[in-house]
A and B are shown apart, each in its own frame.
Chain A
Amino acid sequence: MTAIKALARFAWDFVVGDDWRIAVGVVIGLSLTALVAGAGVTAWWIMPLVAAGLLAGSVWRAAGPRRSG
């Protein structure tokens, strides 16, 4: 059981890394893209915006309070 938990923990760290919001955001972005494209609407612009927002937000959080002071 310990080995399984350790393996699961490793897999989580390996894929998800330091900021789980990135993984969640990517899943939401891809789902939104599929929904919009499935409705016949142009959807290629969604993921670049999602990726930009996730990256900026993640760095912003990690940068801490100095940036505003």
Chain B
Amino acid sequence: MTGSELGLAVSVFVACAVEAVEALTIVLAVGVTRSWSSTWYGVGAALAVLAGLTAALGPALTSLPIGVLRVVVGGLLLVFGLQWLRKAILRASGLKALHDEEAAFERERSAAGSVGAVAPGFDGYSFTVAFKGVLLEGLEVVFIVLTFGANQGRIALAAAAAAAAVLLVVGAGLVVHAPLSRVPENALKFGVGVMLTSFGIFWGTEGAGAHWPGGDAALLAIIPLTLGFALAIVAATRRRPGDGVQSGRDQSAVHA
């Protein structure tokens, strides 16, 4: 396995693990409160849609000329990575509230309990909430699997890394039977943002026709420099104790 393949596998694994933790919280809340069977149907349906998207879009992406693929995918990865990194920096600086799985679990459970009695047999609410939760969290993973995998011609490796992360998170969820609130989500998102941004810079530049000194080895400089720059921004913007958490300036239901 080459260095960039290892980077691909690690990035996809961590990104998928973070999204899987968030999806698990939703699935657990609705399953515990309402109907496990309908919840699992929703999870299965969402996974089928995500697998279908990966299978359909993967070959289409890999059939593009490598120059076009790299500039398009590099640009998308860079936009996506900068958004992840921006949000992780804001959270690490105390400018945005950290994602709280316990609070999210209680919110979902309260919502699930307030919509009336559980329908006998198939429960539409459980199905819909589980389907939507897994699909929305999974779309980000599919995006990362496709962009990383297509660029290196290793979609299968990227998909395997994603599947391993899902299995690990689901296994942990089954063992503790509670939201995985002790997972350091923001640190992981910070790392994924650094990797997406670094690979986006690297591939976007190559796709635009420029060449890196040292070829692939340039990534060994780009990744730590990106990390160091992001940490420097955190240090420069860190909120003092008592400043409180800013709210209302930076809200998104989709990203990270």
Contact = CB atoms under 8 A, between A and B. Distances in A.
Interface string A33-58: 11011100011101110011011101
Contact of A33 (B208, B237, B252): B208
B184 interface: no
Contacts of A13: 252-255
B197 interface: yes
A27 B229 CA distance: 21
Nearest to B90: A62
A14 B250 CA distance: 15
A27 B86 CA distance: 18
B199 to A, nearest CB: 11
A23 interface: yes
Contacts of A34: 71, 208-209
Interface residues of A, number: 39
Nearest to B213: A44
B229 A19 contact: no
Nearest to B225: A48
Nearest to B193: A55
Contacts, number: 129
B210 A36 contact: yes
A37 B207 CA distance: 11
A23 B86 CA distance: 13
Contacts of B14: none
Contact of A43 (B205, B230, B239, B253): B205
A27 to B, nearest CB: 7
A38 B205 contact: no
Nearest to B84: A17
B186 interface: no
A65 to B, nearest CB: 11
A14 B205 contact: no
Contact of B249 (A33, A38, A64): A64
A14 B86 CA distance: 15
B205 A33 contact: yes
Contacts of B83: 17-19, 22
A68 B186 CA distance: 26
Of the listed residues B74, B75, B201, B210, the one surrounded by the most CB atoms of chain A closer than 10 A to its CB is B210
Interface in B190-242: 197, 200-201, 204-205, 207-213, 218, 222, 225-226, 229-230, 233, 236-237, 239
A16 B80 CA distance: 7
19 contacts: A17-B83, A17-B254, A19-B83, A26-B82, A30-B75, A33-B205, A33-B208, A37-B210, A42-B210, A46-B205, A51-B82, A55-B89, A56-B233, A59-B89, A59-B237, A62-B250, A63-B237, A64-B95, A66-B243
- Return the 8 tightest CB-CB contacts between A and B, nearest first: A43-B210, A37-B209, A33-B208, A17-B83, A34-B208, A37-B210, A47-B205, A13-B254
